[in-house]
Structures are given as C-alpha cells and as structure tokens.
C-alpha cells in the first residue's frame, strides 16, 4: 500500500527538520535579505516552472518547505548549506491555476 502524497510530504518534512536539528546541522540566521532570498529561490525555480519540476529542483538545491492549506502557496522554510548549516527562509511561491509557479 502506498502512502498518500501529503502524508509522504509531511513525513519527509518531519524527517528533514529532525535531521537539521539532530544530525550536526545547525540553524543559523540567514545572511540574505528577503529580496536576496527571493532572487536565489527564483534562480532555482524560475517563474512558470511546473509544480512537480519546481519541487524536484528545490529539493535538489537543498531548499525545504511546505504547501499552505490550499496548495496554492509553497512556503520555502529552510535552506540546507554545503557546510551542514541551515538557513531559515521566508519566501512564498504562488501556484497559478495552471499548476505553474
């Protein structure tokens, strides 16, 4: 039996957050301003990227997040850095009715 997507996403988010807190990763203040965070996220996921592609690209870039209740907004919450630290992020990506960010 396969878990529903939302359950898998929730489990993944919990495991990732636990990993960030417990596996020698440290959450440190993000040195980027909000506008710089947005630019960096848009470098990974340009406007018009399909939802599935965007989620894959964000994960590959070490950016973790979650959808809002309506799944029309994706909140980028953590950026995993190569040195093992995590930066809290404050970027929201809107999903158009066509399924593209």
Residue 101 lies in a domain: no
* Nearby residues of 13 by Cβ (< 8 Å), 6 or more positions away: 64, 66
Q: How far apart are CA 97 and CA 101, in angstroms?
A: 9
Number of structural domains the chain divides into? 1
**Two tokens, residue 8:** 């898998």
Residue 51 lies in a domain: yes
Give the mean pLDDT of 65-93: 94
pLDDT tens track for 49-76: 999 999 999 999 999 999 989 889 999 9
Q: Which domain holds residue 20?
A: 5-94
pLDDT tens track for 7-22: 343 444 444 444 454 4
**Two tokens, residue 93:** 């990506």
pTM: 0.72
Residue 90 lies in a domain: yes
Per the listing, tokens 């690209």 go with 57
User: What is the per-residue pLDDT for 70?
Assistant: 86
């Amino acid at each position: 039996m396969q878990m529903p997507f939302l359950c898998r996403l929730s489990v993944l988010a919990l495991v990732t957050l636990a990993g960030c807190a417990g596996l020698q990763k440290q959450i440190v203040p993000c040195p980027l301003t909000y506008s710089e965070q947005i630019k960096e996220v848009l470098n990974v996921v340009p406007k018009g990227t399909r939802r599935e592609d965007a989620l894959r690209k964000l994960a590959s870039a070490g950016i973790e997040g979650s959808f809002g209740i309506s799944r029309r907004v994706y909140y980028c919450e953590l950026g995993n850095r190569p040195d093992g630290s995590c930066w809290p992020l404050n970027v929201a990506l809107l999903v158009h009715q066509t399924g593209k960010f």
